[in-house]
Amino acid sequence: MKQLRIGMIGYKFMGKAHSNAYRSLPMFFPKALKPEMSVICGRNAEDLDKARDQFGWAESVTDWKDLISREDIDLIDINAPSNAHKEIALAAVKAGKHIFCEKPLALNLADSREMLQAAEEAGVAHMVGFNYRFSPAVRLAKKLVESGRLGKIYHFRACFLQDWILDPEFPLVWRLQKEIAGSGSHGDLGAHLIDLAHFLVGDMQEVIGMSETFIKERPLATEMTGLSAKGDTNAPKGAVTVDDATLFLARFVNGAIGSFEATRFAAGHRSTNSFEINGSLGSVKFDFERMNELEVYLTSDAEDVQGFRRVLATDPAHEYAEAWWPPGHTIGFEHTFIHEMLELSSAIEEGRQPVPNFHDGVKCQAVLEAVERSIDERRWVELSEM
């Protein structure tokens, strides 16, 4: 493989993050196969062309089918709303394109399995956008777990707390509509926690959850982008059809136990994506709002100086750090995508599947859906049921 010509569908929050990642990869990881920012695709031609110019794409098209049928595209990047993922992905792999798909892979488990199977049969590379895996501090956590330095894992506890819809007058954006978004905080935020749990601890055996929609009706949105939107207090109201918060407990196959919470109603938390792992030899804590840091506790420390140490994951000893700035000079949210695209590009160059891929997407979807089933049926659900 000597080139990687990208066709990207979607140009909002994630489209911007992906564009920036493709654009930045060659500068900071010059040895990686360089993504060509060939074609951007979206439905509103005017906005799309603005995005094309701003983000640095060569061309734009408004019909994704046109994009997929092009010979000069190697990879389709899907970051359109969740309800569009499946149809596009199936068409893309049928056309022999590699595929990068934002999470959640699909609106349900069956769809995501169909996507995985199609991609596997087509023999293309497939990746799913669990970007938080690519924080250097999370990589350090992974390294500590995998090397056994934390010992046997007992506990995983994770929260993804936001507050952007706390105001009951915040309008009914697409992320609050089940038919487009699939689910609310569960699929949007919880999905990231589930993937981190899979990455760091392993597979789950059974789950039980609960969820709540605190504000059941909201004014219709007049304008929306990213996580912000404008509404009109006097606008007609529509029903919120997704969860505002979902919590669940889990038992992992390896004997660890876990708790998960995703909510958009945690006042003061703009985006607290945090987890803690406790093992027999140590613990780690992570909070995305301080994403350059990992707190690490090791039982092997001398008995008079035991404590959680705040490791700034910007040293040469930390993955990705040398590509950036000297120790102590931090990076931000967008860098997780650059590292993600490094994995995508490297995997394609090396002829292997990127990680995380559709297998991970399916696995995440299985847990999401098992939790939903456990809520509906008010009982523990085994992952083997799914």
Q: Total binding residues for a second copy by CB under 8 A?
A: 103
User: Is residue 306 near a second copy by the rule CB under 8 A?
Assistant: yes
Give the residue, chosen from 283, 345, 357, 365, that forms a contact with a second copy under the rule CB under 8 A: 283
Candidates 60-68, 78-86, 319-327, 362-370; binding stretch for a second copy (CB under 8 A): 319-327
User: Is residue 60 near a second copy by the rule CB under 8 A?
Assistant: no
Whole-number minimum distance, CB 374 to a second copy, in Å? Answer: 9
Residues 37, 58: contact at Cβ < 8 Å?
yes
Candidates 83-91, 122-130, 309-317, 364-372; binding stretch for a second copy (CB under 8 A): 309-317
Rank residues 72 and 289 by Cβ distance to a second copy and give the closer one: 289
User: Is residue 304 near a second copy by the rule CB under 8 A?
Assistant: yes
Residues 383, 370: contact at Cβ < 8 Å?
yes
Whole-number minimum distance, CB 20 to a second copy, in Å? Answer: 7
Cβ burial, residue 324 (10 Å; 0-12/13-18/19+): middle
Whole-number minimum distance, CB 362 to a second copy, in Å? Answer: 25
CA dist 103 → 81, 156, 160, 362 (Å): 10, 22, 15, 10
77, amino acid identity: D
Whole-number minimum distance, CB 145 to a second copy, in Å? Answer: 13
Structural tokens at position 213: 């929609």
Q: How far apart are CA 22 and CA 229, in angstroms?
A: 27
Whole-number minimum distance, CB 186 to a second copy, in Å? Answer: 13
Site for a second copy in 123-162 (CB under 8 A): 140, 143-144, 150, 154-155, 157, 159, 161-162
Cis before 171? omega within 30:
no
Site for a second copy in 210-249 (CB under 8 A): 210, 212, 214, 226-228, 245, 247-249
Question: What is the maximum alpha-carbon separation in the chain?
Answer: 66
Rank residues 66 and 203 by Cβ distance to a second copy and give the closer one: 203
Residues 82, 187: contact at Cβ < 8 Å?
yes
Q: How far apart are CA 335 and CA 291, in angstroms?
A: 11
Rank residues 48 and 362 by Cβ distance to a second copy and give the closer one: 48
Positive or negative: CA dihedral 104, 186, 332, 134: negative
Whole-number minimum distance, CB 305 to a second copy, in Å? Answer: 5
User: Is residue 2 near a second copy by the rule CB under 8 A?
Assistant: no
Residues 245, 253: contact at Cβ < 8 Å?
no
Site for a second copy in 320-349 (CB under 8 A): 324-335
Whole-number minimum distance, CB 76 to a second copy, in Å? Answer: 22
User: Is residue 386 near a second copy by the rule CB under 8 A?
Assistant: no
Q: Identify the CA nearest to 7 among candidates 99, 85, 81.
A: 99
Whole-number minimum distance, CB 257 to a second copy, in Å? Answer: 5
* DSSP label of 168: T
Q: How far apart are CA 221 and CA 172, in angstroms?
A: 5
